[in-house]
Amino acid sequence: MTGPALARPRWSWRAAAREVLRVERQQISPVTGAITAIPVAGILAIGLATAPVGLAIAAAVGAELIGIVSLTASPRLSVPLALADAAALALSAFVGTLSVGTPWLHVALLVPLCYAAGLLVALGQTPAAIGTQSIIAFLLLGQFAGSWVAAAQVGAAVVVGAVGQVLALLVLRLPPSLRYQRLRLVNAVTAVATLARGPASGSAIPALRVLDEAEDALSSPALFGRSDVRDLRATLEQLKRVRLELTALAGLRLRLPGSPAAHPELAAARAAVADELDGIAATLRSGRVAPAASDPVAAALAHLGTAETPFDDVVVAQYVAHLRALAGQLRALRLGAAEAVSEERRAWHVSPTWRRAEPSDARTAVAVLHDGLSLNTSSGRHALRLAVAVPLATAIALAFHLARGYWVPFAVAVVLRADYATLLRRGSGRVAGTALGAAGAALLIGVLRPDLGTDVLLVALLAWAAFTTWTASFPLGVTFITALVLVLLSTSLPDPSRTALDRLVDVALGGAIAVASYLVWPTSAEAGVRASLSGLFAALRAYLAGSMRLVAGTGGTPESLSSASRAARVAWGRAEAAVGRSVEEPSSSRFAPASGRALLAVTLRILRATHGMRLGAERGETAPDCPGLDALAAGLDAALSRLAARVAGQSVAPPPANLRPLYDQAAVTLEARGGTAGLVSHLDELVDALNAATRIADEAVA
């Protein structure tokens, strides 16, 4: 664990400033912004016409917060998750309104609320956002002391606004926003197809450049955690493997005996690879999955068996081995592309996918949260820091009688993060955005002196600008959100310009408290990523071993496999959250963000293939007494064991021999038995995914 890749960089204020100024232009989404902003303005207008101003503001804030969650959870808004957010916002506003008149109780109630909100970081970005929003509702919407009736009215207004936003999004349907990323991936697939058709002496540099462009397009932190991006990244990782195989083939082509014309069967097989890549590019470009057809690469390989090519030549034998590996990789690439476009198309429809919570298995969420209670985890430490820092900031604001001092704990809640790099980037972005937004709002209100009708128009425009730029630039989004909130408050506050200045000072103070609380008790994001990935490979090893025993008829029960499957899913969710927390770390971190994303993609392939093999075995697709299968199972188990140790930074032996020869031996025996085509396909995917995981892990910790 030594070397330049492991040198811990300093995440400086200069780097943070660069991040603040960066705008990812391809992530600017004016249509999505309009769809998300319309309900906020509409709910405010209806509220002002039918209810007191304070309740209209509460409803609009509820709609605004749900709108932010919908962008965080893109491309699909989980209805149960959104309704849970609405309920949490309403309950927080209700309790905050009731308790604010009793300062000690108000501060005390913040402790369990902040601790629970901090733990939600373990479940990923969207649940974490819901936790933060609950604190915001407690502090902002519960700012005025009131009776049970007044508190209930505030809570009900929040529910009305939040549910109104959910219903509007269900009707209007947020469109997928990955066209730019998908087209970059199409260009990469086309470039690799050109490489397959090109001369052996041709350069791979053009293809590498296009692959790098695709990786950059899919590497935005704003896209992390999206299921549709997950499949596109998995497709890109598989495409990199294809490019490596083609590079190896180019070297072998120069060493083939005789002239290139003497091996037409090999040339035909390579042309089939290029044709298959063109078909995959067409699927990604059109966004539609083509009907299943024959596998041209498999057909070309079958034809090789009847050709006169001298297979006893070592170079030809190596060439054919690489072609066989390519056949498996292309099958995985085809499936990944189909899954990616299907996921994107499903985002347009109100379907069962809208009802899927995140994560889908409640027992998985409970297990992940239970694991996050440990103070050795990032989520456990973050929860405790939040439970101390936010109440402390509230107590300070109360003790010094700060005007509208609730902005101080608000700033702590939104700035404090589970890792230092994100804390610094978000903190600087929050302060910069607040400064611009406060100044802009003060100028707008001072010049326009808006009435209620003009307020609604300004809210609509600012909401559209905020939601349009939210994923493109966090500071820019905060700028417009700050201005939006202050314009909303201007409908009920006598001196909105003073409110803007107060908020700027309070946010700066809250940001300082957040940074100080982290520095007192920091967390190593890299260590968390390594530990979670190691645990994931260990869980996959146990699940795969049990499934292989079921296939071989030597053990494994539905109950034990169900438990192992759940453990693997818990481990995968934990690893995704850990990588998500560190994805905004500098690229020179010990465990590079790109490697973390790549390992998540390849482990998802392992998990899916194991699921498929297990389900097939439960339906009777087994292969007892198959020596070739036993040898392959031992090789898979050894590879996963080594990966668990490797990503944890332990000393390990050199990587084992490529698993492909073991697969080839097992496949011959299995295909001779008949009735095991599904099993052979799943094993092919497992071998290819594990070979890829070994390469990625070794490069990441070299």
- Does residue 7 have a pLDDT over 90? no
Number of H helices, E strands in the chain: 26, 0
Mean pLDDT of 685-700: 87
- Does residue 176 have a pLDDT over 70? no
Is residue 11 very low, low, confident or very high in pLDDT (cuts 50, 70, 90)? very low
In this predicted structure, what is the pLDDT of residue 115? 96
Token reading at 424:
């610094």
CATH domain 525-700 topology: Methane Monooxygenase Hydroxylase; Chain G, domain 1 (1.20.58)
Q: Scanning the structure block, which residue is given the tokens 């332990």?
A: 650
Specify whether the CB–CB gap between 386 and 114 falls below 8 A. yes
Is residue 8 very low, low, confident or very high in pLDDT (cuts 50, 70, 90)? very low
The span from the CA of 312 to the CA of 317, in Å, is 7
Mean pLDDT of 399-411: 85
Mean pLDDT of 426-455: 80
Token reading at 620:
């009777």
- Alpha helix segments (H runs only) across 51-147: 53-72, 79-99, 103-119, 125-136
- Does residue 389 have a pLDDT over 90? yes
Q: Within the chain, which residue ranges are assigned CATH 1.20.58? A: 179-346, 525-700
* Average confidence score pLDDT of the chain: 80
- Does residue 47 have a pLDDT over 70? yes
> Which one is predicted more confidently, 224 or 691?
691
- Does residue 625 have a pLDDT over 70? yes
Longest dimension (CA), the chain: 92
DSSP 8-state code for residue 139: I
- Does residue 70 have a pLDDT over 60? yes
In this predicted structure, what is the pLDDT of residue 608? 84
**Tell me: the pLDDT tens digits for 549-563?**
999 888 777 778 888
**Tell me: the pLDDT tens digits for 478-537?**
889 888 888 887 776 555 556 666 777 888 888 889 888 888 887 766 777 888 899 999
**Tell me: the pLDDT tens digits for 570-598?**
888 888 877 876 765 544 445 677 788 88
In this predicted structure, what is the pLDDT of residue 421? 66
Of 1.10.10, 1.20.58, 3.30.310, 1.10.150, the CATH number of 179-346 is: 1.20.58
- Does residue 261 have a pLDDT over 70? no
Is residue 356 very low, low, confident or very high in pLDDT (cuts 50, 70, 90)? very low
Handedness of CA 377, 378, 379, 381 (dihedral sign): positive
CA separation (Å) from 662 to 435, 632, 658, 683, 686? 62, 5, 8, 10, 12
Other C-beta atoms within 10 Å of 664: how many?
Answer: 16
Mean pLDDT of 149-162: 92
In this predicted structure, what is the pLDDT of residue 655? 66
The span from the CA of 459 to the CA of 529, in Å, is 41
Mean pLDDT of 609-633: 86
Token reading at 353:
């996918």
pTM for the full model? 0.71
Is residue 20 very low, low, confident or very high in pLDDT (cuts 50, 70, 90)? low
DSSP 8-state code for residue 355: G
Segment of 154-168, 280-294, 605-619 carrying the highest mean pLDDT: 154-168
Specify whether the CB–CB gap between 7 and 588 falls below 8 A. yes
> Which one is predicted more confidently, 357 or 256?
256
Q: Residue 676: what are its φ and ψ, rounded to 5°?
A: -125, 25
Question: Residue 98 carries which side chain, given as an amino acid letter?
Answer: L
Mean pLDDT of 293-319: 63
Mean pLDDT of 194-207: 84
Segment of 184-188, 221-225, 282-286 carrying the highest mean pLDDT: 184-188
Token reading at 401:
């009688």
- Does residue 309 have a pLDDT over 60? no
- Does residue 281 have a pLDDT over 70? yes
- CB burial string 478-511: b at 16+ within 10 A, e below: bbbbbbbbbbbbbbeeeebbebbebbbebbbbbb
In this predicted structure, what is the pLDDT of residue 508? 81
Is residue 237 very low, low, confident or very high in pLDDT (cuts 50, 70, 90)? confident
Q: Scanning the structure block, which residue is given the tokens 């001298």?
A: 310
The span from the CA of 212 to the CA of 111, in Å, is 46
